[in-house]
């Protein structure tokens, strides 16, 4: 492993790409510390900490997760790359239902460039909208009046001036992050947008470790309200086991054997090779967790608004929004399984795949081409998706169960599962696979002497 790390910096192009990527990640972290003009950073940090423990805790937690803490500080990168990701998801969903976008996706590079241009315009619109909503939410929490020194507005700044500067600042920061990710993908190593998200998540690790160490009593059993050495060792072993499981499921595939038909051209026979079609166990990635978490935010907001007028209804909704309650965990897992099947049904088209196989002269041994092939692919994908959905739901609820049973800090518990761990593992595997490809192209050994590390596809 150490020899492979030394080989990385022996290749000039690879060394240049890695240093360029690290430099842009440093720019991203710097932007997470620059506040929006006209805001009182001390007051907003205190109010955000208080609001994150209430009904909006899930919303604020996810926003902080994807922005590396910039949302909590109301920094220029407070929106992060979420508007761009949302625009990409919307365009991907519309591609399967809008004929114009479906035709563009089949036009090759020219069509993909047009789709990317549409994504950028949609990202700009989402940035303006989300920035305005974020500013209004902050004003409501802090009670800003624009009289100078009240709420979040700094002394001598009018409320309308703050709103304009904040919305433009957040929009510009998000668009700059989108450009930064594209430059990282083209001139750096790995997918730029994914690396930015991963950088924001990993940046929270030192603070999480520090909170755990503050709650440790360096004895075997530990004192009252403290964790002992045995508990720390068990948590470390559990973390390693969860990471290993995430890697196995992320890399897991159901390989369907394929046979290419033989073609005779003159005196030569072409084709006849055997290959396979890989179907990923976790076809939907982290999208189901994001959708389920977002959907569970609405009952929290509704319960918060009904506390004064309809206390019984608010209490009933509160049972489903209590992050450590049994009903919340059960509903959360059910929504993740549902969105796994939903996203797979949207992105995986067995009928189109069967037609492509028939056009290229390939078939599944023992299955007739056409409708029977589509039915076979759909049946196999349903079974594979069920296994991936159950695993994803277990990984998603581990931080909640762990925090409730051991009293572990929520920030530290988030690294034992959920969206953050899945993103970090997936992006890390992809990054290692790209670096290994560069090494093997220049006749160096990869990270593993036996076999290859396969990143996400």
Q: What is the pLDDT of residues 409-420, one digit of tens each?
A: 777 777 777 778
Predicted confidence band of residue 175 (pLDDT cuts 50, 70, 90): very high
Which residue would you say has higher pLDDT here, 49 or 22?
A: 22
CA distances in angstroms from 99 to 87, 94, 95, 102, 421, listed in the order given: 18, 9, 7, 5, 36
Give 450's pLDDT tier (boundaries 50, 70, 90): low
**Please, what's the b/e burial string for 213-225 (b: 16 or more CB within 10 A of its CB; e: otherwise)?**
eebeeeeeebeee
**Range among 60-69, 228-237, 382-391, 397-406 rated most confident:** 382-391
User: Looking at the predicted structure, is the pLDDT value of residue 44 above 50?
Assistant: yes
For residue 22, is pLDDT > 60? yes
> What gap in Å lies between CA 187 and CA 183, rounded to an integer?
6
Residue 216: the pLDDT is 74
Confidence (pLDDT) at 148: 40
For the ranges 125-129, 177-181, 425-429, the lowest mean pLDDT is seen at 425-429
Least confident of 74-88, 143-157, 169-183, 284-298: 143-157
CB 193 within 8 A of CB 81: yes
Binned at pLDDT 50, 70 and 90, residue 23 comes out as: very high
> Mean per-residue pLDDT for 379-395?
88
Residue 145 — pLDDT band, cuts 50, 70, 90? very low
- Residue 168: pLDDT over 60: yes
Residue 146 confidence (pLDDT) above 50: no
Q: Of the spans 143-152, 353-362, 442-451, which averages the highest pLDDT? A: 353-362
The full 3-state SS of the chain, as one line of letters, equals CHHHHHHHCCCHHHHHHHHHHHHHHHHHHHHCCCECCCECHHHHHHHHHHHCCCCCHHHHHHHHHHHCCHHHHCECCCCCCHHHHHHHHHHHHHHCCCHHHHHHHCCCHHHHHHHHHHHHHHHHHHHHHHHHHHHHHHHHHHCCCCCCCCCCECCCCCHHHHHHHHHHHHHHHHHHHHHHHHHHHHHCCCCHHHHHHHHHHHCCHHHHHHHHHHCECCCCCCCCCCECHHHHHHHHHHHHHHHHHHHHHHHCEEEEEEEECCEEECCEEECCCEEEEEEECCCCCCHHHHHHHHHHHHHHHHHHHCCCCCHHHHHHHHHHHCCCCHHHHHHHHHHHHHHHHHHHHHHCCHHHHHHHHHHCCEECCCCCCCHHHHHHHHHHHHHHHHHHHHHHHHHHHHHHHHHHHHCCCHHHHHHHCHHHHHHHHHHHHHHHHHHHHHHHHCCCCCCCCCCCCCCCC
Q: What is the pLDDT of residue 222?
A: 58
pLDDT > 70: what percent of the chain?
A: 76
In 3D space, the residue among 202, 163, 264 whose CA is nearest the CA of residue 25 turns out to be: 202
What is the pLDDT, as a whole number, of residue 150?
45
Q: What is the pTM of this model?
A: 0.78
Note the pLDDT tens digit of each residue in 246-300: 888 888 888 888 887 776 666 676 666 777 888 888 888 777 877 777 677 666 6
| Domains of the chain, CATH where assigned | 1-203 (1.10.3370.10), 218-416 (1.10.3370.10)
């Amino acid at each position: 492993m150490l020899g492979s790390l030394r080989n990385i910096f022996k290749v000039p192009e690879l060394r240049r790409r890695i240093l360029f990527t690290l430099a842009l990640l440093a720019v991203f972290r710097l932007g997470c510390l620059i506040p929006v003009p006209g805001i009182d950073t001390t007051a907003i940090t205190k109010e955000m900490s208080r609001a994150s423990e209430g009904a909006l805790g899930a919303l604020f937690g996810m926003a902080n997760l994807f922005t590396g803490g910039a949302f909590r500080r109301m920094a220029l990168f407070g929106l992060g790359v979420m508007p761009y990701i949302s625009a990409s998801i919307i365009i991907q969903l519309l591609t399967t239902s809008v004929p114009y976008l479906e035709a563009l996706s089949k036009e090759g590079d020219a069509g993909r460039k047009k789709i990317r241009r549409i994504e950028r315009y949609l990202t700009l619109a989402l940035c303006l909208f989300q920035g305005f909503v974020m500013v209004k939410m902050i004003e409501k929490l802090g009670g800003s009046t624009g009289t100078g020194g009240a709420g979040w507005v700094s002394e001598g700044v009018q409320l309308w001036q703050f709103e304009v500067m904040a919305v433009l600042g957040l929009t510009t920061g998000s668009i700059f992050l989108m450009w930064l990710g594209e430059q990282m993908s083209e001139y750096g190593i790995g997918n730029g947008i994914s690396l930015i998200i991963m950088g924001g998540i990993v940046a929270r690790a030192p603070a999480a470790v520090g909170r755990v160490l503050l709650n440790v009593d360096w004895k075997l059993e530990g004192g009252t309200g403290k964790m002992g050495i045995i508990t720390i060792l068990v948590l470390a072993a559990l973390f390693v086991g969860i990471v290993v499981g995430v890697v196995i499921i992320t890399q897991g595939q159901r390989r369907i054997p394929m046979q290419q038909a033989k073609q005779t051209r003159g005196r030569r026979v072409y084709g006849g090779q055997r290959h396979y079609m890989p179907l990923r166990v976790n076809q939907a990635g982290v999208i189901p967790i994001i959708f389920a978490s977002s959907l569970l935010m609405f009952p929290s907001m509704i319960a918060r608004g009904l506390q004064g007028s309809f206390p019984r209804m608010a209490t009933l909704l509160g049972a489903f929004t209590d992050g450590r309650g049994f009903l919340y965990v059960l509903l959360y897992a059910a929504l993740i399984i549902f969105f796994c099947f939903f996203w797979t049904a949207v992105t995986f088209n067995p009928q189109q795949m069967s037609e492509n196989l028939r056009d290229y002269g390939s078939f599944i041994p023992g299955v007739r081409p056409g409708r029977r092939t589509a039915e076979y692919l759909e049946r196999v994908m349903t079974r594979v998706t069920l296994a991936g959905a159950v695993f994803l739901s277990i990984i998603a609820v581990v931080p909640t169960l762990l925090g409730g049973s051991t009293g572990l800090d929520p920030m530290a518990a988030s690294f034992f599962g959920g969206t953050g761990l899945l993103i970090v593992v997936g992006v890390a595997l992809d990054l290692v696979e790209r670096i290994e490809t560069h090494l093997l192209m220049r006749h160096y050994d990869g990270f593993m002497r036996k076999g290859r590390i396969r990143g996400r596809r």
